[in-house]
Amino acid sequence: MQPFTLNYARPAVQLDVTVPYAYDSGLQLNVLPDGRIAATDHATLRALGTTTSTAGSKTHFDD
């Protein structure tokens, strides 16, 4: 009784990545431990894939 589309499902990749930045409510920005703005560190963002179009988002399905 499984819908046809689910025949093509695969386990979601669980991204248990701990982001190295934290939200600063004063700046309204995420900040790295050394004080730099996370959004300016493209190497970190690429490594984490946090700005990427990804399938399987739990909260947002239009990436």
Partner 1 sequence: MTVLILTSEEDVTADMVVLRLGEAGVPVVRLDPADLTNGVALSGEYARGACRGRLSVGGRLVDMDGLRSVWLRRPGTAAARAAQPSAWLTEESAQALYGMLRCTGARWMNHPDAARRARYKPWQLRLAQRAGLPVPDTLITTFPQAAREFAGRHPDLVVKPVSGAHPQEPPRAVPTSRVAPDTDFTAVAYGPTLLQRRVPKRADIRLTAVGGTLLAARKPVAPDAHPDDVDVRFAPSNAPWAPAPVPPPVAEGVLRYLRGAELAYGAFDFAEDAEGVWWFLECNQSGQFGFVEMDTGQPIAATIADWLAGSGSPQAGLLDDEEFSGF
The amino acid at residue 37 is I
What is the 8-class DSSP label of residue 46?
H
Element (H, E) at 23: strand 22-24
For position 53 contacting partner 1 by CB under 8 A, the verdict is yes
Count of positions (residues) in the chain: 63
Q: Find the Cα–Cα–Cα–Cα dihedral 16, 60, 58, 50, rounded to 10°.
A: 0
- Residue span 3-42 as binding mask against partner 1, x where in contact by CB under 8 A, dash where not: xxxxxxxxxxxx----x-x-x-xx-xxx------xxxx-x
Cβ 17 to partner 1, closest distance in Å? 11
Q: Of residues 18, 33, 35, 63, which one binds partner 1 by CB under 8 A? A: 63
Residues that bind partner 1 (CB under 8 A): 1-14, 19, 21, 23, 25-26, 28-30, 37-40, 42, 45-46, 49-63
